[in-house]
Structure formats: C-alpha cells, structure tokens
Amino acid sequence: MMASRATIKEWLGISVEKYADRPSFAFVGETPITYGEFGVKVNQLSVYLQGRNIQKGDRIGIYSTNMPNWMVSYFSIANLGAVAVPMLPDFHQEEIRNIIKHSGLQMMFVSENLYYKIKDLEELKDVDLLLIDRFCEIPKGAEKDELKKLSTIEFADNELAEVGVEEDDLVSIIYTSGTTGKSKGVMLTHKNFITNAFAAKKIQSIDEQDRFLSFLPLSHALEFTVCTLIAFLSGSAVFFLTKPPTPNVLLPALKQVKPTVMLTVPLIMEKIYKGKVLPQFNANPVLKFLYHHTPVRRLLNRAAGKKLMETFGGCLKFYGIGGAKLDGTVEKFLHEVKFPYAIGYGLTETAPLLAGANPQHTKLYSTGPAIEGVEMKILNPDPKTGEGEIVVKGPNVMKGYYKQPDLTKEVFTEDGWFRTGDLGAFDKDGFLFIRGRLKNMILGASGENIYPEEIETVINNFRYVLESIVVERKGKLVALVHLNMEEFEVKFEQFKEDLHRMEEVVDAHLEELQQYVNSRVNKFSQVQLVVAQSNPFEKTATHKIKRFLYE
C-alpha cells in the first residue's frame, strides 16, 4: 500500500515535495497556500517549538475552530514526535479543565474566538499559550481585547534538529464526549491514522484536482482522517468555513468552492430534506397524494435531486455520511435521486473508519463492507438473526485509553479483538448493517431485545418531529420528542396567541404520534408515553444525542 513508513512526519515530506505548487488549505473566499508554503510554515513552527524545549512525547493542546493554521499546528506537533491533544470547540469549560489536567499539557494553541472560555482556568498556570490565528505568544492573564495587539512570532531560520518518529509512536490523544457518558482519552498512533487514510482512499479515488469543503470539527477523528488527511495525502485543496454551517453560510460556500468531496453527519442532509425538499411536495395536496405512489415519487425525487446537486455546487462526486445513523426515509430519497452519497462506519478508537463503500456501490441502510486491512466479525451472533456485537482488528485500532488501563482492558477481548459496543449483522455480500448501541439496547419484560434506534426512525418520519430518543423509565418505554414548533405555529397560526389552545393541539399531535408509532412497531417495542422536549437535545460533535443525560 505504501512505499514509506506510516508516519505523518514521513508523509508530510512526501506530499510537500510532490504537490509543492498545488493549493492546500484556505478559508472559503481566500487563495489557498500551496503545499510548498504549507511545508515552510510547518518547518518554521517546528523549529520554534523545539526552541521552546518541546520534546518527543510532550502533549500539546489544540483548542480552536477550523482554519489552515490548525493543520499547520497539528503537523508541526507530529513532526517533532510530540502528541496533539485536539479539543472540540463546543466542549464545556469543565471538560476543557479536565482534559488539561488529565493529559498534562506542556503547551496549548487556542483560537481568538475560544480564548474567553479558558482565560481564567487555574489549570493553565504552567501551560504556555499560543494564539493559533496568527501564531502569537499569549502573556499569562491577558484579556481578550489584548489579543489583537499581540505581535506574531518572529520565526528563525534555524535547522530543525532531527527527531526519530516511529509508526507506533503516539501522535494524538482525542478526548471523546460520547453518547453514553464521561469523556475518555483515546490514544492514536501515526500508523493508526496513515493506514486508515490510505484504506479509505481505496474506496474512493481522490487526487490533486479534488476540492474538499470542510465544516465538521477538525478535532474529531472523522473530519481529520477522512477529510483533511486524505486530502493532504492526495494533493487536494481543502476549504474551511469562517462561521458555523448555517444555510446562510453554507449555501454561498458551496456555490463558490464547488466541492467534489464533502464529509458530513446525517443531521445536515436530514435538515435539507425535511426543511426544503419535503415541504415542496406537502404544500400541494395533489403532489402530496402522488408522492406516496412509488413510480411518481421517483420522478418527483429525480427533479428534486437535480436541484440538490446544483445546491451543492454541481461537481460533487462523493458525499460521505458518518458519525450517526441516517434517517431511513432520507437515505431512500438520496438513493432514488442517485445523489453521490456513501455511508461509513467507525469510531474514534479506530481512527476512525471501519466500513464503507463508494457511491456506486452503496446498499440501502448498510454502511458497506469492512475496509482494507480491517478484520471484522460478530461476537456471539444470535442464531436466528445473526446479530451481535461488532468486534474488529486492524492497524487503525487505538493503543488504548490514556491513563486508564482497566478501561482499556474492558474494551478488548482476551484474544485481542476491539469491542465496538455496536450491534450489527452482515448480509451474504459481507455488507454491514448496524442495529444500534449495545448499551442502548433495552431488555423487554419477557427478555426481548428492544432497539430504541429503530423506534426513533419511525418517530422521526412523523410530521413536525425534528428528533427523538426512546428511553426506559420505570419499566415503560418513553419517547422524548423535539418538535418543530416554528412549523407548528405556521400551520396553526390561529392559535398562536392562545397558549392553552396551542398546548391542546400539541398534546393531540403527540397522541396521534403514539398511535402512528405503535401501529408500525412490534408489540414489545410500543411506546407507553410520548413527552415533548422543549429544547433541542444536547449532542456530541457528530450530532449524536447524549443519551445518558436523558435516561
């Protein structure tokens, strides 16, 4: 697969030389720096960090929104054999505090727009701070308004002292804020990332003509490996948004960049389908009726699909979806309109990709087969359904959880298979179908296996429902539902000023929803109570609901 060692340091040199004059990273609307210029920046910052006595194995934090300098910082850290500790921009201050303490940072890069969150943290008293936007040293206790006045570091032209970096050396500790509980520090090596990126490249051909639009957090393994690292190994250009991906920001960016490759989470496409595509059909009673007839629906969907491709810039060849389960109705729509989507499966602990297929080989509701180099099997499969916990082996599997040997031992079988905690089954072609999280599975009164994700898929297809989770409370299945109240108020505008009447309408809708769901699921999966959730559910970086907060 690779002629060189599987280290980020090694491939930094290869890509910088091979694609020296090609565009690398930029904000949308700006001219990208070339690979050659990127290499110079990385070398300068590496020399500076060496001058600040950063040694191999030292931990350096990156707490920043996406930008070209994020990549410069990460590659400089990797270039020295140090360990990057990327943190998600939406982590709470308490999570940041715990990560700083647990990882033992020597230094930390922080972006100007996030500095306010960490400015007063006692844990940073012995940690050097660098402003990542312009590479400035931040004096202890500096106020936010002082950052603009800081001078950029004057980089020296010194030679970089050689540092030996091996494939199995740690390059990153990623702290997850998972759906089921407390964050853990996932230890990932150079080999984990490089082998995973090359295996992913086997699924979809990527080269220097490709343009990536990146908007998921770079601090998540999904975006780092399957977007920016693959792009870097291929000589592609990557564009970052300057603001969160709201429609007003994303749509002009798509028009300008005309991306060929995008990586996203289900929520983005689900919002587009439910907020833009479906209302066009439902607004017209005739179209709404016809849309339920398969031949007509396919024709209508194809027309909508052409507009969708235009919305995404018209050049898209790969729209990767990962991080959470895609709504079945939305996937069926994408499949019928021949949109170039592909669903992947993976975890932070596996750097992250485990299974996937390209748009020409997708199979409805499947994540595709195991990628090259990954062994995957079902542990103790059910004799009837073939379902069980997915376990894996491969060069992309983490070393373990930082400073948590007992927890590390728990997630590996005695013969070395990593336990994903996900339930799934294979079809005859080796395509993987995910059923849900092992920890989410609810045991019914008579020993039945109840998968809340399957019930949620039914709930989320009901009108006005934005998202939902199904939990067990006192032996009963309860559906927590977040409704689209804006759409509700438009539909029932006559009750907008009458709160009591609006509450009655909502209650009637929830009752109808319960009947709708229970008529479509098996007896032991029927919900006994539907509760309106007034605020959106709190989510992880990949927009999975943090279930443990609601159980």
Class of 8-201 per CATH?
A: alpha beta
Same fold, 265-395+415-437 and 442-549: no
Query: How do residues 225-255 score in pLDDT, each as one tens digit?
Result: 999 999 999 999 999 999 988 888 999 999 9
362 Ramachandran zone, left/alpha/beta (phi>0; psi -120 to 50):
beta
Who contacts 378 (Cβ-Cβ below 8 Å, separation ≥6)?
386, 387, 388, 389, 390, 391, 424, 425, 426
Digit-coded pLDDT (tens) for 441-469:
887 766 677 889 889 989 998 988 999 99
What global pTM score does this model have? Answer: 0.86
CATH pick for 442-549 out of 3.40.1010.10, 1.25.40.420, 3.40.5.50, 3.30.300.30: 3.30.300.30
Q: Check residue 532 and give its pLDDT.
A: 93
For the stretch 266-279, pLDDT in tens is 888 888 888 888 88
DSSP 482: E
pLDDT of 445: 67
**Where do the domains of the chain lie?**
8-201, 265-395+415-437, 442-549
End-to-end CA separation in angstroms for the chain: 45
Closest CA to 129 of 116, 121, 139: 139
pLDDT at res. 478? 95
Mean pLDDT of the chain: 91
3-state SS, 121-134, equals CHHHCCCEEEECCC
Q: pLDDT tens-digit profile of 462-518?
A: 988 999 999 998 888 999 999 988 877 777 776 666 677 878 888 899 999 999 999
The domain made up of 265-395+415-437 has a fold known as: Rossmann fold (3.40.50)
Region of poorest pLDDT, from 74-83, 341-350, 463-472: 463-472
- CA 214, 219, 223, 227 dihedral sign is positive
User: Using one digit for the tens of pLDDT, what is the confidence trace for 303-314?
Assistant: 888 999 999 999
